[in-house]
Amino acid sequence: MPSSEVEKVSRILKLFSERNKLKILLLLYYNGPLLVCVISKALRLDQTLVSHHLKVLKVSGLVRCKKVAKYRLYTLTNYATSITHTLLRVMLDPLF
């Protein structure tokens, strides 16, 4: 595997290993598109902290946002959905 791909995988796995970012990814995975205020309330985190995490996840290609009126609706990218699904299957399925 080329070192550039190793670096990309390493960066993505670091995001999944950070507790709050993982919570956001899982919340979006199980619930679909959500507003920042909904994510903030669900995780009991300050809205500015959630916005910061979402920005990092967006820059990394794991999350995208769609502007709806004055709100931003966040959802997982197909890439993030695939990774999350695979990680959950591997980590939670004792027979895998």
Domain of 20, in residue numbers: 3-86
Q: What is the pTM of this model?
A: 0.88
DSSP H or E run through 82: helix 78-92
**The pair of three-digit structure tokens given for residue 87, joined into one six-digit string:** 């990680």
For residue 28, being part of any structural domain is answered with: yes
For residue 94, being part of any structural domain is answered with: no
For residue 26, being part of any structural domain is answered with: yes
For residue 49, being part of any structural domain is answered with: yes
Long-range contacts of the stretch 59-62 (C-beta < 8 A, 24+):
60/11, 60/12, 60/15, 62/12, 62/15, 62/25
- 2-21 pLDDT tens trace: 777 888 888 888 988 999 99
- 76-88 pLDDT tens trace: 999 999 999 998 8
For residue 51, being part of any structural domain is answered with: yes
Structural domains counted in the chain: 1
For residue 40, being part of any structural domain is answered with: yes
Task: List the single range of 2-11, 17-26, 39-48, 67-76 with lowest mean pLDDT.
Answer: 2-11
* CATH code, domain with 43: 1.10.10.10
How would you label 28-37 residue by residue, b for 16+ Cβ within 10 Å and e otherwise? Answer: bbeeeebebe
Q: Is the pLDDT of residue 28 over 90?
A: yes
